[in-house]
Amino acid sequence: MRTFVLPDTEVLAERARAAFDRCGVERPREVEGASGAARSPITGQELFGLEYDTEESTDRAIAEAQEAFAAWRDTPAPVRGRLVHRLGELLREHKADLAALVTIEAGKVGSEALGEVQEMIDICDLAVGMSRQLYGRTMPSERPGHRLMETWHPLGVVGVITAFNFPVAVWSWNTCVALVCGDTVVWKPSELTPLTALACHGLLMRAAADVGAPLGVHRVVLGGREVGEVLVEDRRVALLSATGSTAMGRAVAPKVAARMGRYLLELGGNNAAVVAPSADLDLVVRGSVFAAAGTAGQRCTTLRRLIVHEDVVEEVGRRIVDAYKQLRDRIGDPFEESTLVGPLVGERGHAAMRAALERAQADGGEVLVGGDRCFAEEAADAYYVEPAVVRMPGQTEVVREETFAPILYVMAYRTLEEAVQMHNDVPQGLSSAIFTQDQAEAERFLSSAGSDCGIVNVNIGTSGAEIGGAFGGEKDTGGGRESGSDAWKTYMRRATNTVNYGGGLPLAQGVRFL
C-alpha cells in the first residue's frame, strides 16, 4: 500500500472558498460555534461552521417558493426551459469547481466527481427538450360533436431531500425536470454536503437573474431531521422527493400520505449480478469491480452480491480477488489522480462494514481479500478501507441487508431459476445485471419472470445509469422514478378534458335525463 500524506484541512477549506469565488456566487457565511458545519471525509475534520435553518426559516422558504409558483406556472414551458438551459451553461463553465466541492464533501475521486457534474449538465439538456414535449393525448369520444383529451399542469412546490453520496446529481434530476414542468423547488441537502448545495443554488440564482425568472423558484435549506420534517409535513409541499435509507422512506411516506400529498422515494439497493457459464469473464471483472468498489461502495446502485454459476465461480472469484489486490495501491486522497477508492463518508459506515464482515464470517463466509482500515495512524478521524470480497455458502440474513460500504458477497448457483430466485430474495429492488452470451438467458432475466428490479442490465454492471431512462426501483427501494423517460409526469397533475363543440348535449353511456 502506498504512503499516505493527510491533506491539510485548512487547505481544503480554502479550496472550497476559492470554488465559490470562481463560480461567482456568494461564499457560505462561516459562523464560529454555529449549529452546523461543513466537513470533509478526506480528513474527517470540520472545515468551518455553518448556521442551520430553523423551522421558521424553512417555513419562509416554502412560502417564497409558493409565491413564485403563482407566476412560474403561467410562464410558457419553453420559456421555463430557458432557465434550465442557462443553468446548464453555467454548470459547463464551472464543472471543475463543482467537482472539487463534491470531492471535498463526499470524498469522490476526481473522475467520479466530474462525472456527477456532467450528469447535471446532461439532465439540463434533457429537461430543456422536455420543455417542448410535455405531451397530453387526444382520445376519441363516444359522443358526437365532442372532443376528449388530457392536459398536464404544474403541480406546485416540490420538496427535494437528497443524500450525501450523490450530492448534486439527484438534486438536478428533480430540480431541472420540476422547473420545466412549472414547479418551484425547496431543497434540503444532506447535512454532510451543504457546500455543494449552496454552490448549485447560487448558480441557479445566477441563471434566474440572467433570464428574468422569479428568484423564488428555488430555495435551499440546511439542517438535519427537524428541517426535513417541515418539508414532509407542510401541506404546501405538493410533492416530496426523498432519497435515502429504507428506514427514512418508511418514516416519510405515511406522514406525506396522511396529508394527501405525493411522494417520490429513492431508497436502498442490494444489487446483484448473475454470472452465467457463458459469460465473458473479462467483462465480468471490469464491470463488477467498478460497480462494487467505485465510490467506496457508497452508491445505491453498488454491486453487493455476485451470483456465479458453479462451473465458473472459482475462476471468477480468483480474478475478482486479483483485481481487488491491485486496488490496495489506489486507495487514498481522492484529489490524487491515481486514486480509485476514496474514504468512507464517516465512522458509521466503517462500523457497519466491520459488523457486516463479522456476521458474514459467523455465517460461514470467508473474507477472500480486503476489509481492513487503512491509514488509521495518518488520518485518525477519516475512514479509508480496503474493499472486501467475501465468499458465502449461501444468501444469509446479512447478505440480504444493505451495508453501505464496499463489501461484495460471492455465491454459487446451479440453474438460472435458482439464480433468479436468489437474486429476487432480498427486500430491495433497485438495480440488477446478468452477464451471459446466451440470448435466451438474457431474455429470461429481462422478462417478468426474471429480475424484479427497476433497472435490469445485460453485460454491464449495476452502477452507472444514464439520464435518458427513468431511474428507480421496486419493493423497499420505494417505487419512485426520476430523470428521463416519462418521469416528468410525477411533477405534474393530469386533467381529463371534454369539449362539446357540437351544440347538442348527449350523455355518456347512453344515459337519458330530462
Identify whether 503 is part of a domain. Answer: no
Model pLDDT for residues 96-152, shown as the tens digit of each residue: 999 999 999 999 999 999 999 999 999 999 999 999 999 999 999 999 999 999 999
Terminal alpha carbon distance of the chain:
88
Helix or strand or coil: residue 407?
A: strand
> What's the mean pLDDT in 400-406?
98
Identify whether 353 is part of a domain. Answer: yes
Q: Where are the beta strands (DSSP E) in 370-430?
A: 373-374, 384-385, 388-391, 407-413, 428-429
Q: What is the percent of the chain where pLDDT is above 70? A: 100
Handedness of CA 271, 277, 280, 285 (dihedral sign): positive
Question: CATH code at 183?
Answer: 3.40.605.10
Is the domain of 197 the same as that of 256? yes
Record the cell numbers describing residue 391, joined without a space: 465468499
CA 318, CA 37: separation in Å to the nearest integer? 44
> What's the mean pLDDT in 253-270?
98
Identify whether 361 is part of a domain. Answer: yes
> What's the mean pLDDT in 309-316?
98
Structure confidence at residue 335 as a pLDDT band (50, 70, 90): very high
Mean pLDDT over the full length of the chain: 97
- Structural domain range at position 51: 9-266+478-494
Question: CATH code at 306?
Answer: 3.40.309.10
Secondary element (H or E) of residue 129? helix 110-130
pLDDT over 80 (residue 1):
no
Model pLDDT for residues 152-161, shown as the tens digit of each residue: 999 999 999 9
Identify whether 506 is part of a domain. Answer: no
Identify whether 367 is part of a domain. Answer: yes
Q: Is 124 a catalytic residue?
A: no
Is the domain of 186 the same as that of 280? no
pLDDT over 90 (residue 2):
no
Number of folded domains that form the chain: 2
CA 386, CA 327: separation in Å to the nearest integer? 8
Identify whether 190 is part of a domain. Answer: yes
- Note the Cα 347 to chain centre separation in Å: 22
pLDDT over 90 (residue 3):
no
Is the domain of 297 the same as that of 390? yes
CB 402 within 8 A of CB 296: no
Tally of CB atoms within 10 A around 504: 9
Is the domain of 283 the same as that of 150? no
Residue 262, beta-bridge partner list:
239
- Catalytic residue (one of 112, 119, 266, 402): 266
CA 499, CA 139: separation in Å to the nearest integer? 12
Identify whether 144 is part of a domain. Answer: yes
363 contact partners, CB below 8 Å, separation of at least 6 = 392, 393, 396, 397, 398
Identify whether 4 is part of a domain. Answer: no
pLDDT over 90 (residue 514):
no
Q: Among residues 321, 317, 271, 333, which one has the least CA distance to residue 463?
A: 271
pLDDT over 90 (residue 249):
yes
Q: Among residues 276, 284, 291, which one has the least CA distance to residue 412?
A: 276
- Catalytic residue (one of 23, 176, 181, 300): 300
SS (H, E, C) 317-366: HHHHHHHHHHHHHHECCCCCCCCCECCECCHHHHHHHHHHHHHHHHCCCE
Opening angle at CA 477, ends 231 and 349, nearest 5: 85
Tally of CB atoms within 10 A around 326: 10
Q: Is 266 a catalytic residue?
A: yes
pLDDT over 90 (residue 26):
yes
- Note the Cα 400 to chain centre separation in Å: 21
Is the domain of 212 the same as that of 354? no
Is the domain of 288 the same as that of 251? no
Identify the pLDDT of residue 464: 87
Q: How far is CA 507 from CA 146, 150, 227, 502, in A?
A: 11, 19, 51, 13
